[in-house]
Structure 1
Amino acid sequence: MPLNKKTISASLAALAVALPGASFAQDDSGDMIIVTAQKREQNIQEVPVAVSVVDAQAIERTAAVNIESIQYLVPSVSFRKGTTSKNSALTIRGIGTISFSGAIEPSVSTVVDGVVLGRSGQAFSELYEVEQLEVLRGPQGTLFGKNASAGVVSITTKRPTDEFEATVLADYFEDNEYRVRGRISGPLSDTVKGSLTVAQSAFDGNIFNVYNNKKVNGYDKMGIRGMLQFDPTDTLSILGIVEHNRSEDDCCADLEVRPSGRNPASAAAPNGAFDLDQRRVDHDFETFMVDETNAFSVQVDKELQNGILLTSITAYREWENAEDREGDFTSIGGTANTPVFGVPFQLHDNGALDTKTFTQEFRITSPDDQRLDYVLGLFFMNLDRTATFTRNASCQNNGGQNQPILDANPGLECNANDIVSATSFTDSSVENIAAFGQIGYDLTEAINAFVGFRYTDDQTSFTHTRRNNDEFGRQGVGVRPAAPNSQFSQASGGFDNTFTGEVSDTDFSARIGATLDIGALAGGGNLGTAYASFNQGYKGPGFNVFYNMGTNDQLPIDAETSDSFEIGYKYVTGDFAFAITAYQADIENFQANNFDNSTGVTITRLTNAGDVSTEGVEIDASWSPSDWLSLTAAVALNEAVIEEFNCPVDPGTGQPPANCSDRSGLDLLFSPDLNYTLGANLKLPINDDTDFIGNLTFARVDDQQSLLPNNDGTVNPVGLLPGYDLLDAQVGVSFMEGQYTVSLIAKNILDESFVTTYSGDGFRYQIPRDADRRFGVRFTGRF
């Protein structure tokens, strides 16, 4: 692909200073750092947006295997892990969308090799052969195809090489965890080159199920990616990418970290009020997920005689996800021949979804070294999602809800071991059309001004049907009766058999700002660059489509919009880089999960929770005091709070509950106040072709809330995720001039246990693999 280089490039939402392992390439003077982004090569000092860049070396040094690991390298990012990839989510600067609904878009957009992914869950697979990963913080809609109100995670994989090469990487860790990856790349003819990467990984698990004496929370993953690049002329390049990924995980089992009282005699009962050392479950139904992606894309780049670059990216992705979920979290649920809730109930779920996404992007990019520069683009996305979800649960008659059926059928019972079920069927569609662009102009030798815009047209629709599968129409725990398929009145938000909805919206958002070359203003020399910008973000409307949806959920959720201010300063020399960024953003109609008990039954509902704000300071630095040592640091100070809360309205009265507080001033979810990362990289020559290599990384993740406050404004303490520290290290030997490397890896050296997600019911949490100290060995060969 033809690439351009520009000293001041305000036409790209660009890169802030480097985090640990950022991709550096110096010019002959040693005073410039060039970072390759999606659309240009840029001098990191002169681009006016905060973006963290993690390159291939950093990923290898820290043994980062997926996007979940990126939160320990990029302090502004938080990752919320769900029971499957489809309900996991990213937040940036405290802003993100966590929802089961397939009719709402994420706040953080994910892009792989220039292709926008319709759902963030599609990106939560293994990271392999990544050239670099970029986290662009704040609204990014003026230069990326999809709406990106909170930020963008952009992944670029390694391209085919001009000369033949092959690489092999193999990891082995304790508990029978391994990872193997192989890649071949090189020319096939004078105008064609290609590459093929194959990856396989597996893990038995770090949680023990006392019910069947088996490990869970493991995985078995494989992936294959092929690339073919055709360069018929110096000005035309065509890149085709085909990818297949499949994962079979018995992840992620929810653990009883706080006492539930459901089976206190179990060997998996917690040891204390908050047992962070809990590594056992007692489940008679295994939480299991099969996740499969098939994708292809074609990128065409044509450089015209006047230097303008035309780019077309056409892509199709199919994502299939199937899950079995343990929902009663005990082995004795549904075994008693007595009514619930005097005894534990059964609740087992099965779900499957099929998502098909087509995207098309056209873009024109101006040539370099001109006073006026621009990037202009058109984007189209069509996403179709089909999902089924079945719940098998104990019959429920504690309120007499099934008594008419029992009276009409003598001998029929409704006890914990009488299992009933219901199935939901959902089709949803999202269509997005956008025009976007950014224009920069050199007002003087020292000042560059830029403006950006985005016009968006969104359309979202859905059809949802839920049916009772019991031949008598009995209802159960989470299973509504056959007719009228509701235990509540319509006026109080009751359930119905079929719901449909359609919503459309248009939006115009803008960006404006300027950069100042302080050295040029002072008459010469490198004194760093300052910038300031105002950015508008937009996230389209949608619906809360999920298994338990009711009448209220047919109402569309309004679009989420944001206004963001950012100022920054960057200074880069040959061996030192420093950047500081300050930001403040106001978000209206924030889309978030909220506890709603307006009907008398508490459920989690995705709503426009209200208006929120986020502000903070980010500091990044790197220093290479010698050829054999480099030091890095990154700090994120962030305060994300609720400014005004929208209390849920009782549809019967049209008024909010009497005890509803506005919750103003309380913390936003997954928004730690202080995260930071420190790193040290060492490379000491032993002889002419052998080096000692070492890496030490320390990450601090602060306390964070995982639950919105209750309607009365009180905060449930079970939703607090305590902060934790992670210390990782890698030491090894590289020999034959870097052709082979053997190293030892230590993860979580301090053996600090922690939870990353509160899952519900007052006792369920996720304990990740990184919460255990473990050791491993790695071999890398390059041929």
Structure 2
Amino acid sequence: MNTKRSIISKAVTLAMTSGLLVSAHTYAQEAEPAQAPDDDKSFEQIVVTSQKRVQSISDVPVAVSVLRGDQIESAFANNVENLQALVPSVSFRKGTTTRNSALTVRGIGTISFSIAAEPSVATVVDGVVLGRSGQAFADLYDVDRIEVLRGPQGTLFGKNASAGVVNITTKDPTQELTGSLSTEFYQDNEYRMKGTVSGGLTDELSASLTVFQGKFDGYIKNVYNNEMVNGYDREGARAVVLYEPADDLTVKFISEFYSADDDCCADLEGLPSGRNPDSEAAPNSDGIVDGVADIDLDQRQIDHDFESRTIDDHAAFSVQVDKTVGDYTYTSITAQRSWENTEYREGDFTSIAGDSNEPVFGAPFQLHDVGPQEWSQFSQEFRVASNLSGPFNFLAGLFYWNMDSERSFTRDASCQNNAGQLDAALTNYAENNLSGDDLTTALSDLGAYADSLGVSCNANDIVSATAYMSTEFNNWALYGDGTYDLSDDMRLIFGLRYTDDEVSYTHRRVNNDEYGRTGVGVRPATLDTDAAGSVDETNLSGRVGIQYDIAKGQMIYGTYSQGYKGPGFNVYYNFNPENDGRPIGAEESDAYEIGYKYASRDLLLNVAVFSTDIEGFQANNFDCSDGACITRLTNAGNVTTQGVELDFMYNATDNLTLIGGVAYTKAEIDEFNCPAEVDADACTDRSGLDVPFSPDLKYSLSAEYIMETEYGFDIYYNASYIYTDEQYSDLPGNTGEFNAASLLPDYTMVNASVGMSFKDDAFRVSLIAKNLLDESYATTYSGDNFRYQIPRDADRYFGVAFKAQF
């Protein structure tokens, strides 16, 4: 089987690389659907809503990358995770579940397990701000365009936009009856299917329905049971109804349901853990040699007796009303979203744990987690926009947002007695259950007392604890953004936002063991918690700048803008009221940006130079105060990100489109605070060291070439070349030293597809190749000096796609 597959892979690789160009990101939808054929590929027609109104991308004084839906489909980029390949300024931290994954822009993002903290990169879908980025880490199956706004966007978006915004817009229904059906099949039993129908119900009413299903067996072999893992089983549907009773009134209803059952994402043993060295899933690695980690990037096996799995259920409904009265357009967006996420996590990363009657840590310990969580959010936004006809134009609004979250988290783990914890538990148990001579006898000989109860504390003695957590976020804001024409060529940019944030939480953790015993990661009954807290904070942030049209289709701008991300708490399973009960202050940023934009029919060029200072950076700071190093979310300090970005789109010929981008970013620590629990003499300021997930250099180069034939079909060549520099996947320790295991090597990706199109693209069949160079890489170091996330795209694989449309 392997020989045959190798031969097929080599043959397909040779056939595809014979005509390849290089491909990656994409351009946005045309401003108006009715255009002359000669303007179909004009970059002057690209529009965005990055300032909450439809504008040409070349007129917007913001660094923004735009990915169009059909271009995303052509690159077969099926989820938000693929943004890091398509947009050089974006990186992605892969967690074991969607709720623990995060986006970073220009090296800045929030990575936390806390349910009372929010992301630095705001995710917006159809004008609705999502409470957690993980709500959008699903499949992209009905997307019109994705806009990535880089840098603080506090004035207009405000809600947790201290680093940037990912603005996703889905497709509107058409009046003309249209439809499509597409399928993709890949190696290792992966398939995806999508069907869409859209059309007018009456002259005033149109609707669309899109349904999606995908399934994948996985690419990681679990040698414990010979099953494949890290796959998925997903389905979703989106319905849109558009009502346009008059030229000046539009009402849009959107409803979406999505569910996923993913046996994902198991951490791979990339460095020797020593937990089961005789397993066939042990890595081919020498460990850390001379300060360099020998990561086994070819590792595709695990040996787990508990399956890591994530179950997601989403439901969303929104209504947007746009009404034009005179020179102004009034908009209302009302939205309700819910998200249920359940995490099953293998925490001991071996199949031989928890079976021995020997004490830990001489014997392997068990650690298994189950954590269901429910989110429910409601938002309302009202805004008014002028019609861009006079020298003064503005957009102003009122925003309200509420989110409730409830989570329970249960850990089943081996009993722990390496420091006499059993005696402490039995003492507490005796004092609560005995009195008089019985208590005196028990305390005088705890060993005999344990024997009388039949209690031991070995690896096969499984104890558990459950934490019950809840949070509520309330946010309201007033904002305004505008321009004033100082002359025909120059305009003043300004904006202001007032924000009020309130965050509250409850936390109750209960040791479930009858005797209150300590386990690995299970605190004793004496440390059960019952805590609550809240914090309220206000912020006034703004922006100001100058925009100058230097010639037709050319513009330069300079802006100063402020970003804001609200306060929070470090609420998680092993919450410590004394340390974690302190509020985490808001994260605020000051950004300077100078940009140049050029747009013509055949060329779009954007250049931006930026520098952003972040104060109160919310990050997982190291705390080694109790003898075991953990990370605790705090206002860890101040960081700076600065660099230069360039994007271009070029119609080299009528049939060849080139697209490219490069980001050079230096995201560094200015000064990190020592955690309050740690002696300040044990810390350095760590200035000049890298912020996690901030590669210095990322670039992509792409192309699409259409070869027209005389035989009733056309051939589409699409390919991409993407480079990502090495990057750290964790912060440096308190002494200013990085863990060598956290340095992820640089890597190159080449993806490609060749398609045959028939009858004006009414039917297309494509051959797809992912990672043609078969270069393996890791996207995340997960911890414990050995755990890594290695994605599906770290292997070369092939597929075929079929699409029919009318």
Q: Where on the TM-score scale, by shorter chain, does this alignment land: which range?
A: over 0.9
Instruction: Give the 3-state SS of the residue equivalent to 1:663 in structure 2.
Output: coil
Question: Is 2:429 aligned against 1:409?
Answer: no
**Contact between 2:24 and 2:85, CA under 8 Å: does it hold in 1?**
no
> Which residue pairs with 1:667 in the alignment?
690
Alignment match of 2:302 (pick from 255, 266, 281): 281
Q: CA deviation at 1:234?
A: 1.6
Matched, 1:361 2:381: yes
Matches within 5 A, 1:549-564: 549-550=575-576, 551-564=578-591
| 2:638 paired with 1:611 | yes
Matches within 5 A, 1:577-596: 577-596=604-623
Superposed, which structure 2 residues align to 1:484-563 within 5 Å? 484-485=526-527, 496-519=528-551, 526=552, 528-550=554-576, 551-563=578-590
Return the letter of the residue paired with 1:600: G
The answer as to whether partners of 1:145 and 1:378 remain within 8 angstroms in 2 is no
Q: CA deviation at 1:657?
A: 4.2
Which position in structure 1 is the counterpart of 2:660?
633
1:303 is the counterpart of 2:324 = yes
Alpha-carbon deviations, 1:2-44, whole Å to 9, x = none?
A: xxxxxxxxxxxxxxxx973212648879683331326333222
**Residues 107 and 150 in structure 1, CA contact (< 8 A), matched pair in contact too:** yes
Aligned partners of 1:395 and 1:415 also within 8 Å: yes
- How many Å separate the matches in 2 of 1:711 and 1:41? 47
**Is 1:292 aligned to 2:352, yes or no?**
no
Q: 1:420 aligns with which of 436, 460, 463?
A: 463
Structure 1: how far apart are the matches of 2:30 and 2:783? 47
1:289 deviates by 1.0
Q: Distance in 2 between the 1:536 and 1:339 partners?
A: 54
Q: Is it true that 1:649 corresponds to 2:692 in the alignment?
A: no
Q: State the Cα distance separating 1:658 from its structure 2 match.
A: 2.7
**Residue 344 of structure 1, aligned match among 327, 340, 364:** 364
Contact 1:34 1:41 in 2 (8 A): no
Listed as ranges, the matches of 1:28-427 within 5 Å are 32-37=44-49, 39-144=52-157, 146-273=159-286, 274-304=295-325, 306-404=326-424, 405=426, 407=447, 408-410=449-451, 411-427=454-470
Distance 2:344 2:319 in 1: 35
Superposed displacement of residue 754, structure 1? 0.6
CA apart distance, 1:144: 2.0
Give CA-to-partner distance per residue, 1:654-700, whole Å, 9 cap, x none: x6343211111100010000000000110111127421111010111
SS of the equivalent of 1:687 reads coil
The code of the aligned residue for 1:23 comes to A
Contact kept in structure 2, 1:19 and 1:621, CA below 8 Å: no
TM-score (norm 2): 0.91
Distance between the aligned counterparts of 1:261 and 1:199, measured in 2? 43
Match for residue 18 of structure 2?
A: none
Instruction: Check 1:249–1:57 CA distance in 2 against 1; reply closer, same or farther (3 A cut).
Output: same
Quote the residue 2:3 is aligned against.
Answer: none
Separation of aligned partners in 2, 1:34 and 1:680: 18
Determine if contact 1:46/1:515 at 8 Å carries over to the other structure: no
Letter in 1 for 2:420: G
Quick one: distance in 2 between partners of 1:687 and 1:530?
45
Give distance in 1, aligned partners of 2:25 and 2:266.
32
**5+ residue gaps in structure 2?**
1-22, 287-294, 427-445
Distance 1:324 1:454 in 2: 41
Distance 1:36 1:548 in 2: 44
Q: 1:188 and 1:286 mapped to 2: Cα distance?
A: 47
Distance 1:41 1:658 in 2: 54
Helix, strand or coil for the counterpart of 1:409? helix
Residue 795 of structure 2 corresponds to 772
1:762 to 781, 785, 799: 785
Structure 1 residues 469 and 268, CA gap change in structure 2 (3 angstroms):
same
Matched with 2:495 is: 452
* SS state at 1:311 partner: strand
Decide which moves more: 232-241 or 414-423.
232-241
Q: How many Å separate the matches in 2 of 1:91 and 1:473?
A: 41
Aligned mates of 1:228, 1:57 — CA distance in 2: 21
Distance of 1:259 and 1:434 partners within structure 2: 51
Distance of aligned partners of 1:527 and 1:231 in 2 relative to their CA distance in 1, 3 Å threshold: closer
Corresponding position: 1:441 with 2:446: no
CA gap 1:323/1:31 in 2 versus in 1, 3 angstroms: closer
Unaligned runs of 5+ in 1: 1-17, 486-495, 520-525
Give the match's secondary structure for 1:285: coil
Q: Could you say what secondary structure the match of 2:84 adopts?
A: helix
CA–CA distance in 1 between the matches of 2:711 and 2:200? 31
- List per-residue Cα deviations over 1:88-108 (Å, max 9, x = no partner): 000000010000111111100
Question: What is the distance in 2 between the residues matched to 1:621 and 1:118?
Answer: 32
- What SS is found at the alignment partner of 2:652? strand
SS class of match (1:59)? helix
Separation (CA, whole Å) in 2 of partners of 1:252 and 1:147:
27
2:772 paired with 1:749: yes
Distance 2:392 2:679 in 1: 54
Q: What is the correspondence of 1:454-493 to structure 2 with a 5 Å cutoff? A: 454-482=497-525, 484-485=526-527
Q: Which amino acid aligns with 1:268?
A: A
Note the aligned Cα RMSD (angstroms). Answer: 1.4
Cα deviation code 1:512-539 (max 9, x no counterpart): 01111112xxxxxx26110000000011
Matched with 1:23 is 28
Q: Distance in 1 between matches of 2:370 and 2:652?
A: 56
Spell out, residue by residue over 1:372-400, the C-alpha distance to the aligned partner (whole angstroms, 9 max, x if none). Answer: 11110111011000000000000011100
For the residues of structure 2 that align with 1:76 and 1:541, how far apart are their CA atoms?
26
Distance 1:590 1:111 in 2: 22
C-alpha deviation, 1:345, in angstroms:
0.3
TM-score between the two structures when normalised by the length of structure 1: 0.93
Q: Which amino acid is the alignment partner of residue 33 of structure 1? A: Q
Distance 1:31 1:153 in 2: 21
Could you say what secondary structure the match of 2:691 adopts? coil
Identity of matched residues, %? 54
Which residue is equivalent to 2:596? 569
Q: What residue in structure 1 maps to residue 19 of structure 2?
A: none
CA distance in 2, matches of 1:33, 1:19: 20
Instruction: For residue 61 of structure 1, report the CA deviation from its aligned partner.
Output: 1.3
Summarize the Cα distance change of 1:262–1:242 in structure 2 as closer, same or farther, 3 Å threshold.
same
Q: Which has the higher helix share?
A: 2
Residue 232 of structure 1: how far off its partner (Å): 1.7
- Quote the offset at 1:648 in angstroms: 1.1
- After TM superposition, give the deviation of residue 292 of structure 1 in Å: 0.5
Output the CA distance in 1 between the equivalents of 2:211 and 2:385.
34
Secondary structure in structure 2 of the residue aligned to 1:694: strand
| Amino acid corresponding to residue 800 of structure 2 in structure 1 | V
Alignment partners' CA distance in 2, 1:57 and 1:749: 22
Structure 1 residue 750: Cα displacement: 0.4
String of CA shifts for 1:153-183, please: whole Å, max 9, x gaps.
Answer: 0111111101111101100000000000000
8 Å contact 1:146–1:379 — kept in the other structure?
no
SS at match of 1:86: helix
Does the C-alpha gap of structure 1 residues 527 and 55 become closer, same or farther in structure 2, counting only changes over 3 Å? closer
Displaced runs of 4+ in structure 1, greater than 4 A? 26-31
Q: Distance in 1 between matches of 2:58 and 2:253?
A: 33
Kept after mapping to 2: 8 A contact 1:116/1:145: no
CA contact (8 A) 1:94 1:670 kept: yes
Q: How many residues align?
A: 744
Aligned to 2:442: none
Q: Return the structure number with greater relative CO, CA threshold 8 A, min gap 6.
A: 2
